[in-house]
Amino acid sequence: MTGPLLELDKVALHFGGLAAISDLSISVNAGEVLAVIGPNGAGKTSMLNLVTRVFEATKGRILFKGQDIARAPRSKIAHLGIARTFQNIELFDAASVLDNLLLGRHRFGAGAWWQQVLRTPGLTRREEDHRAKVETVIEFLDLSAWRNAQVASLPYGVRKVVELGRALCSEPEILFLDEPASGLNPEETRDLAFWIDDIRSDLGITVVMIEHDMSLVSAVADRVVCMAQGRVLAQGTSAEVQAHPDVISAYLGT
């Protein structure tokens, strides 16, 4: 395939008179780890919310594999192969880790309603297939100790991993991570760095992560985009972006 995997083309997002994002163009190439950095309120999460259709773009196009998804129904995004995690963990708290991960498989279908009611042999086989796939993710993220635990009872760090696992269960082509390292201790952050690397190289998933932790960004990102006030300020390698004068002034607030 030619061209970028995902392309935001002159996208704008206005809330009433307030422009959260204006004239934003970002492209994500297949197979890369792209980090999006920027001060608070730069519009990073808004950008992600536009792609996953939580918000309606005021202007512009969002092309995923050449197809404009800026007006697609919110529940269709996952079916295209776009997965995400949330800044303030959005897990299904009252369910077990296993059920959370199985919900990640939703887009692959769970059988017709009558098959589910009757629990036909075909459905049981299908459930077993989903379960087998979930087990590979459990193994990949080392979650087996928590398999049957209720999410609400898990420590914060584990919950972040479960959320990552749930996104992986949907076998996305592109994975958005919204501040994956926030609230993690250094050890957990190091694990995360290895996982992100593996997700890209072993699973072949393109990763876009919004992150403040520059050590993590430098460690795993192929390319860095810095946003401020709803625009792209600079992009390039981690070192280039960090040395960019506009970026420095945006962070220092001059």
Partner 1 sequence: MSSALELFAQLTVNGIAVGAIYALVALGIVLIHKATEVLNFAHGDLLVLSAFSAWALIEGAGLPFWLVLPIVALGIGVVSYGIDAVIVRRIAGQPQFAGVMLTIALAFMLRGLVMMGFGTDSQSYDTPWSGQSTTVLGVTIADLSLVIMGVVFVIAALLWVFFRKTRLGVAMQAASQNQLAAHLNGVRVKRLNSLVWALAGVTAAIAGMFLAPVTLVDTALWLITLKALAAIVLGGFGSLPGAVLGGVLIGLIEQYAGVYLPDGFKDIAAYLVLIAVLILKPNGLLGDAHGRRV
Partner 2 sequence: MRFDYHTRYRQGFALLRHPSDWLAYGLLAVVLLALPFFASTYLIGELGYVLILCIAAMGLMALTGFTGQVSLGHASFVAIGAYAHAWLLAQGVPFVLALPLAGVISAEAGLVVGIPAIRVSGLYLAMVTLAFSIVVEQVIGMWRGVTGGFMGMLVETPRIFGVSVGAPKYFYYVCLFVAVLVLLALANLMRSGIGRAFTGVRDSEAAAYALGIEVKRVKVGAFGLSAGITGLAGALMAHHIGYLTPDAFTLLLSLDLVLMVVIGGMGSLRGAILGAVLISFLPKGVALLKSALPDAMARQSGLEIFVAGLVLALFVLFEPMGLNGRWLKLRALFESFPLYRRDTFRRQKTYMKSERSR
Binding to partner 2 in span 115-154, by CB under 8 A: 116-119, 123-124, 127-128, 131-132, 152-153
Binding to partner 2 in span 74-113, by CB under 8 A: 74-79, 83-84, 86, 90-95, 99, 102-104, 106-107, 109-111, 113
Q: How many binding residues for partner 2 (CB under 8 A)?
A: 43
Nearer to partner 1, 153 or 185 (CB): 153
Residue from 10, 74, 79, 90 touching partner 1 (CB under 8 A): that is 90
Rounded to a whole number of angstroms, the minimum distance from the CB of residue 12 to partner 2 is 22
Select from 23, 8, 147, 140 the least CA-distant residue to 82.
8
Rounded to a whole number of angstroms, the minimum distance from the CB of residue 86 to partner 1 is 6
By CB under 8 A, tell whether 49 contacts partner 1: yes
Which of partner 1, partner 2, none binds 87 (CB below 5-8 Å, type-dependent)? Answer: partner 1
Is the separation of the CB atoms in 223 and 26 below 8 Å?
no
Token pair recorded at residue 245: 């004068």
Q: How are strands ordered across the β-sheet holding 33-37?
A: 82-84, 174-178, 206-210, 33-37, 223-228, 231-236
Distance in angstroms (rounded) separating the CA atoms of residues 99 and 25: 37
Report the run of H or E that residue 242 belongs to, with start and end: helix 238-243
By CB under 8 A, tell whether 140 contacts partner 1: no
Residue from 22, 86, 190, 251 touching partner 1 (CB under 8 A): that is 86
Rounded to a whole number of angstroms, the minimum distance from the CB of residue 245 to partner 1 is 32
Sign (positive or negative) of CA dihedral 105, 107, 111, 116 = positive
Nearer to partner 2, 78 or 219 (CB): 78
The contacts found for 186-192 with CB under 8 angstroms, 24 or more apart, are: 188/157, 188/160, 188/161, 189/213, 189/215, 189/216, 192/216
